[in-house]
Amino acid sequence: MTIETRQAIDPRHARTFDTAQLRAEFLIEQPFVPGEINLVYSHYDRMIVGGAVPSAGDLVLDSARETGTPGFLDRREAVIVNIGETGTVRTGSGPHELNHRDMLYVGLGDGPLTFSGAAARFYILSAPAHRHFDTRLVTIDAAKRVDLGAAATSNDRSIFQFVHPDVMESCQLVAGMTTLHGGSVWNTMPAHVHDRRSEAYLYFDLPEDARVFHMMGEPSETRHLVVKNEQAVLSPPWSIHSGAGTASYTFIWAMAGDNVDYKDVDMVEIGDLQ
C-alpha cells in the first residue's frame, strides 16, 4: 500500500503555480494501480482519496501510519465506490457485494477492509468521524436523483446523491455521482465554492482519447487541470470545481468538512469569474 501526503495549499500560493505544480498538488494521476492500494492523504479536511484494484488477489486496508491509530477506521468513516465490474468489500461486520457504480458506506470502527474481484476497481474515500453509523450498501436505485442543467447549455445531467442526509446519515462524508447525458459536457457551471467543505472529484467513463478541462482556483483566479479517465482532483475549500469534457463522462464527488448540507454553497456569478 502507498500513501502520499498532500499539504493544504494556501490560495495565495496556488496563484503562483505553473502547470506541473498545480498537477502535483491537486491532481491524483493514477489512483488505480493493478494489484495495489494507492492513497493520497490530503490535509484538506484530512480526506483520504485513492483506489484499490485487487486483480490477482485480495487487498487489505488495515492500518496506516498517517492516521496514528491502530486501525485505519478507528476514528474514521469511509465510502467505497466500485467503478469496475462486480467485486466484494469485506468490512469488520461482513462482506458486501458491489456492482458497477454501487457505493458502500463504512462506519467508524468497521475495519479492516478487504477488497476482492478480478475486474473490480474500488475508489476509496475516507474522513475523520466522531461516531459510528452502520455500514450500508447504497445502490443507484436507492440514491436520490436530481436532474439539473439543459442540453442547450451543454450541462444536461443527473446527480445521484448516495451518502447524503436525504438517504442516510454519516459524520462528514457526503458523496454521489453525476452523469452527463449524451452531448452534454459541462459540470457544475454556474460554479460554486463552499469554504465549509473540501471536495474530491473522480472522473470516469470518459473515452481514453477524451479529456476533461477541470476548472479550479479562486473565482477571481481560475486555473485548469487537463484530466483523463480515472484521474481524481482535490478541490480546496476556496476553489471552484467545474469541468468541461471533450466527451460526456461521469464523476464521483465527495465532500468532508463542517457540515453535511449539500445545498450550503456560495454560488459564483458568471461575471465574477476571471
Ligand X SMILES: O=C[C@H](O)[C@@H](O)CC(=O)C(=O)O
Q: Residues forming the annotated binding site?
A: 192, 194, 199, 241
Residue placing its CB nearer to ligand X in the complex, 199 or 218: 199
Report the residue closest to Zn ion, judged by CB. Answer: 199
Q: Which chain residues interact with ligand X by CB under 6 A? A: 157, 159, 178, 187-188, 199, 241, 253, 265
Whether the CB-CB separation of 211 and 227 falls below 8 Å is answered with yes
Shortest distance in whole angstroms from residue 132 CB to Zn ion: 27
Phi, psi of 49 (to 5 degrees): -135, 130
- Site of grid cell 448540507: 261
DSSP annotation of 65 reads G
Rg for the chain, CA atoms, rounded: 17
Shortest distance in whole angstroms from residue 157 CB to ligand X: 5
Binding residues for Zn ion, total number by CB under 5 A: 1
Residue placing its CB nearer to Zn ion in the complex, 96 or 164: 164
Binding residues for Zn(2+), by number, are 192, 194, 199, 241
**What is the torsional sign of CA 254, 29, 11, 65?**
positive
Contacts for 19 with CB less than 8 Å, ≥ 6 apart: none
Q: Residue 105 touches which of ligand X, Zn ion, none (CB < 5 to 8 A by kind)?
A: none
Count of alpha carbons within 13 angstroms of residue 173, beta-carbon side: 34
Site stretch for Zn ion (CB under 5 A), options 31-39, 91-99, 127-135, 197-205: 197-205
Shortest distance in whole angstroms from residue 188 CB to ligand X: 4
